[in-house]
Structure 1
Amino acid sequence: MDRPELAAWLRLLETPGLGLAGCRRLLAALGPPEAVFAAEPAALKALAGPKLMEALSRPPENLPALLERTERWLAADPCHQLLVLGDPDYPEPLFQTADPPLLLYLSGRRELLKAECVAVIGSRSPTPQGRDNAASFSAALSRAGFCIVSGLALGIDGVAHEATLQAGGSTVAVLGTGLDLLYPERHAALGRRIEEQGLLISEYALGTPPLPANFPRRNRIIAGLSRGCLVVEAALRSGSLITARLASEAGREVFAIPGSIRSPLARGCHELIRQGAALVEEPEEMLEVLRPAYPRPKPVEAAPEPTPGPDGEAGLVLEAMGHDPVGLDALIARGGWPAAQLSALLLELELEGHVARLPGQLFQRRARG
């Protein structure tokens, strides 16, 4: 893309009030951005109305600085690239959605745009069991050949990216900021690893800060890139449910991991299941849907002996817990242990990985794989 073409794209996308729908209307009627700005005022007025015609008649004030920033960014690293709608490398699944981005900023392995992708998403404040589930599903799906797509957010997103990289798989992070601003800062190092081993994508201009409205918008890209969408944990009102809805509307498979009826982070998944999402407990259940011919692991002749659980009083505490989150007072009522003894037993179970400590002085039994 030469300088005049880049300047025309940035000018079009930065025109106040135009939006993607307005841009598409002009591009469909007049051709590439250079042709839009070379068009007669009467044609622009007929297509966009008098106010937008006026906005299109003068470049945005930030255009020179944005053009310079973008050119510097592109020149800084060969893996920094731009992709416009209609390019041969534009991902076909994303192109087929109702609202595909017109321009994407890329940093990393461009070839992953052609990969077979699955989105793994969920709460920014997951339970320890939710983190374990996100890691095990992401690693298994990546070993099966899928590229894992998520949003680099805290919680499930970060776990999915990290587990995929550790498994030697491929991952794509879709950002809600400009690619020169890795957000959140706690995931800056993870973002740089994805940039080296996977792919970062954003539709937002360089320098775009983490504006709240941008993150729900970027979710349509996560959904659009993916053949399926797995929700690990989610509250009833969450961005994960927005992504799942967008995936469903785009005709993609939606999967949800169930949880305790006592857990607020399970309610979003349960709602998705009520709406028709596939309930999954193992990665193989997703693979049977996404890739029916995928070979299931062969059963071994003799299954290994299960790892023995704790015995004695610690074992009784674990049995009394069940599988729902439970407080100290409830456990005392169930088993009659003195508070000091119970606290010591819970600490022992926590250190051994049998129990997770949750916010609000709650404890939950933890599945061990």
Structure 2
Amino acid sequence: MKRAYNFNAGPSALPLPVLQRAQEELLNFQNTGMSVMELSHRSKEYDAVHNKAKQLLRKLMNIPDTHDVLFLQGGASLQFSMVPMNLLPREKVGNYVLTGVWSEKALKEAKKVGQTHIAASSKEANYTYIPSLDQIQLSERAAYLHITSNNTIFGTQWHEFPNLPVDLIADMSSDILSREVNIEQFALIYAGAQKNLGPSGVTVVIVRNDLLEHVPENLPTMLDYRTYSSSNSLYNTPPTFAIYMLSLVLEWVEEQGGVKMIEKRNKEKASVVYEAIDASAGFYSPHAEKGSRSFMNVTFTLPNEEITKKFLAEAKEQGFVGLAGHRSVGGCRASIYNAVPYEACEALAEFMKQFQKRFA
């Protein structure tokens, strides 16, 4: 079976061994005579899957005992509301760094809950760069500083995180598990699974335990982080199949040599595509400034709309999927998440070089 070169921005590529394992176990999981999708979330068989996913995530990301791991639903978009609802007291101010569409949406939801402040922004340059750390200006009475660690649409990524006297919160939906990070630096991390963790359906939240002591008492039960922390994320029926797939992806990451090796490969993959761009004498023009380039999403434009359409059409014929750029940037975008193999990036770079020879 021929597999596509999958560069979709999300839901994105999954490791082939993970898909094959899920296929093998789909109808009869561990001799239960049932699929994982059919198991009770109160059963010992599912309980083992659930806890294994948490334990593997802790191990791979070096999550200390000071932080809890929660499994929620609603994607990162629900976290745009849950973060301020749980962590933004009336007398304090939520600080946000704007680096793209998703940070704008996070700010929009926070404004509905309480006071907000834009601590830094690169919007004036159409989000071509990540603001430098010395550009960040906190407000008085700052409750937290919220960042989006990687920006899928604009192809930018934080390569150094702010170290300021305020709780740091990060939407890591598109680069969690792609590189080593110091969890102790963050008060809260959240991530939709559909880039590097598994299929869509489960959202991972890593929260420092002491934050839960200050959550308001009047929150709706399902919007309160304490509900999930106190019940091992089993207060209601969790997305069991998505969590099962998450556990398989985490096993695969461990087999690859852990996050350190994954990070090394991701940098190698990105280098191959960026080298094709940089060597094109301007035929391919990168959106992101060099110091802010993402290792997850490579964004670039071609000389004009006609050539771009030709590029995308020929790429599709060659088996490349998901290369069209977002409308706010245009051009092309190659999303090279953990499960995208080096060979796919190599093939894309070669296709880009050959296309340039014919149309430059």
Fold match by TM threshold 0.5: no
Larger Cα Rg: Structure 1 or Structure 2? Answer: 1
What TM-score comes out, normalization by structure 2 length?
Answer: 0.30
Normalized per residue, which structure has more helix? 1
Higher relative contact order, structure no. (Cα contacts within 8 Å, ≥ 6 residues apart): 2
- TM-score, normalisation: structure 1: 0.29
